[in-house]
A = this chain, B = another copy of it.
């Protein structure tokens, strides 16, 4: 199986397969005389594993760790679970962050006429001017605002 076929069988682009090889995630079974990469079922299986991990939002670094654990028959499931849990927490943190943005934006959008006139609470907020009621959207404890620690 050459790289194009492996790509078709795994759903991973040839470009990415080469990249994964470059960063040490996967190696072809070998090379033909003319230097073509050769893959077998096992490699395709690994590629699918990577693809699935990526689709669950794991980074390539996390994926690499998971891959090693997968291939390590003596791993403990707790090691795997810990990675997953950390990733879940990370996802949930990012979700909450974006939800805060959405909340603020929806509020501003709701207050914005969206008509032909130029006055716009959205721009006013961005500019730090909140004419209505003299306060920002989501005053004080705005969850979309990670500035304090930055």
A77-B112, A101-B57, A145-B55 are contacts. A123–B70 as well, Cβ < 8 Å?
A: yes
Residue of B nearest to A51 (CB): B147
* Inter-subunit contact A56/B104 (CB<8 Å): yes
Q: What residues of chain B lie closer than 8 Å to A112, measured between beta carbons?
A: 77, 80-81, 84
What is the predominant secondary structure among interface residues of chain A facing chain B? helix
Please give 8 more A-B residue pairs, beta carbons under 8 A apart, in addition to A80-B112, A84-B108, A94-B98: A53-B126, A57-B101, A77-B120, A80-B123, A81-B114, A88-B109, A91-B105, A95-B95
Interface residues of A (CB under 8 A from B): 11, 45, 48-49, 51-53, 55-57, 66, 69-70, 73-78, 80-82, 84-85, 87-88, 91-92, 94-95, 98-99, 101-102, 104-106, 108-109, 112-120, 122-123, 125-128, 144-147, 150
